[in-house]
Chain A
Amino acid sequence: MQMPGTKYVLAVSGRQYSVWKKFIGSSMASNVANPILFLFAFGFGLGQFIDAMDGMSYLTFVVAGMIAYSAAFSASFETTIGSFTRYFTMGNWDAILSTPVTLTELLMGEVLWAAAKALISSVTVLVVGWVWGGVPSLSGALLALPIVFLASICFACVGLAATAYAKGYEFFSYFFTFWVTPMFVFCGVFFEISRFPEVIQYIAWAFPMTHLVAAIRPMSAGLPIDLTMLALHSAYILIISVIAFVAANRKMRQRLYD
């Protein structure tokens, strides 16, 4: 087993970056437009019926949730539909594996780029939310970005594990229905999970998304931060990342080598 080399990992991420640069216009437009649409619906629409949630204005509550969700969606999409297309449809991975790049480096490169792209998405939401008036503590929100990046790595790894098991694009409908949509619905993006029955709450805490939202929301709201909880949330996210990456690597090795 060869130790992963930074140059090789960056070569893989770099390829994705150079493609993204070509479509930066459309990519940024949807990055900006999406949160505006959501904030419009929830901030103006729903927000009029809700005065406060979890000790903050509903707008502040939703902006933090949207920062997390945009990272989750972006990273998940990149390492499922994106990676599967490069691996299965384009033969891009076969081409890369004929070079000195190892499979582990290839997968790390995929994850790194997906997380970087997810971070760009989150920052866009943060900027829009801040302009909208939903970020009371900008410095707190900026300090939360490393956690958003860590969680994006986690979402990317889980997506990659799904890709490793996917036989075709249809498989991802399960992934989006049973993994991405629950992150949107059950993990505290739009309301506190304490409103759920206890059983559902336990399930919700199994999702790294819940930990991300819980970690960053007090930071962007400018509320006091419990460092121990912050460390626990981060540790959970990290553990899931490692498990998912190892699973993806193992399964992909079985598929690509014989």
Chain B
Amino acid sequence: MNAPAIIAAVDLKKKYDDLEVVKGINFSVEPAQCFGLLGPNGAGKSTTMRMIMGLSDVTEGSLEVFGVPVQKMTRNIKAKIGLVPQETNLDPDISVVENLETFGRYFALPSALISERVPKLLEFMQLTEKARAPVMALSGGMQRRLVIARALIGEPELVVLDEPTTGLDPQARVLIWKQLLALKKQGRTLLLTTHYMDEAQRLCDQIIVIDEGKILDQGTPQQLIDRHVKGHVFEVQKPDLAKSTDGKWDQEDIGDSVLYFVRSTQEFIADLPENAVYLHRPANLEDVFLRLTGRTLREN
């Protein structure tokens, strides 16, 4: 028998008046795993996260966090969760250290414990040199790192990360990835939403892809890749396409070229005309995401 799930959603629904934004989803997040919640804008990710944080009422179905229904979320449970919100809402009136100390007091931690944890968190997020700096003096990447450090002040068992690396440079993202993996090694559970599929592929043990309030599929990144995009992608420019046209190949027309998703590369290359112009690369989670949720723009 596995350890009890950290988060368990059964037929979870959320309605705003007549508009149903989460339409009966089921998932469970196991301890010490990084669980990815992927989907285009407006898919229902943020609403689901708000319900997990107890900030939004569950309309139907059940949602349990640490084995307790979110409607009955107590202070002790809230203290086990650290949130990294999408908007960087640091306190601009006080310094880096004071931001962490103040948050420690919101968790009712004793002063001695706060002073013990703050330098460690600064070190962990490589902000030690900026300890006394005002928040406004930090770069975007540093502010993001501070938001993550702040979420860790209560040593949470569950860290909820809403697009933690959006808008950051590659150096900052790599550092954050490394530290998130370190958190997982410490046995903490991570719930992650992101629009960067490389990020999800690198960090997540389990992924659900949701769109229009429904789960389209779930599994490990590798399972999803195998299931939907087979392992290899050939982007072949028109008009010299694969000779077999009898539905032998799993393909998708994207305009000037056609994408083929194939398992056996040799067999496919043999099926291409001599003068075909193509690009071959391993399939990734981005291919899965686009196949599942389509290529049309959202937010229109």
Contact = CB atoms under 8 A, between A and B. Distances in A.
Given A11-B106, A99-B106, A92 B55 contact: no
A interface, over-half SS: helix
A91 B87 CA distance: 8
Contacts, number: 76
Interface in A218-258: 256-258
B106 A101 contact: yes
Given A98-B53, A99-B78, A90 B91 contact: yes
Interface in A142-196: none
A26 interface: no
Nearest to A2: B75
A99 B85 contact: no
A14 B91 contact: no
Interface of B: 16, 50, 53, 55-57, 74-76, 78-79, 81, 83, 85, 87, 89-94, 98, 102-103, 105-108, 150, 154
B56 A257 contact: yes
Given A100-B76, A258-B16, 20 more contacts: A5-B108, A7-B105, A11-B102, A11-B108, A14-B105, A15-B105, A18-B102, A19-B93, A22-B93, A90-B92, A91-B85, A94-B85, A95-B90, A95-B91, A98-B81, A98-B83, A98-B85, A100-B75, A100-B154, A258-B56
Contacts of B78: 99-100
B102 A14 contact: yes
B91 A100 contact: no
Contacts of A97: 55
A102 B77 CA distance: 13
Contact of B108 (A7, A18, A19, A92): A7
A95 B85 CA distance: 8
Contacts of A257: 55-57
Contacts of B75: 2, 5, 100, 102
Nearest to B14: A258
Contacts of B98: 18
A200 interface: no
A100 B107 contact: yes
Contacts of B105: 7, 10-11, 14-15
Contact of A90 (B57, B79, B81, B89): B89
Contact of B57 (A95, A98, A258): A258
Interface of A: 2, 5, 7-8, 10-12, 14-15, 18-19, 22, 90-92, 94-102, 256-258
Contact of B106 (A18, A94, A100, A258): A100
Contacts of B56: 257-258
Given A94-B89, A257-B57, A15 B102 contact: yes
B interface, over-half SS: loop
Given A100-B79, A100-B107, A95 B89 contact: yes
Contacts of A10: 105
Contacts of A90: 89, 91-92
17 contacts: A7-B108, A8-B106, A11-B105, A14-B102, A15-B102, A18-B94, A22-B94, A91-B87, A92-B89, A94-B87, A98-B55, A98-B83, A256-B55, A257-B55, A257-B57, A258-B50, A258-B56
A7 B93 CA distance: 22
Contacts of B53: 98
Nearest to B78: A100
Nearest to B101: A18
Nearest to A106: B106
A100 B85 contact: no
Nearest to B105: A11
A108 B89 CA distance: 21
B75 to A, nearest CB: 5
Nearest to A257: B55
B50 A99 contact: no
A22 to B, nearest CB: 7
B44 to A, nearest CB: 13
A91 B107 CA distance: 18
Nearest to A258: B56
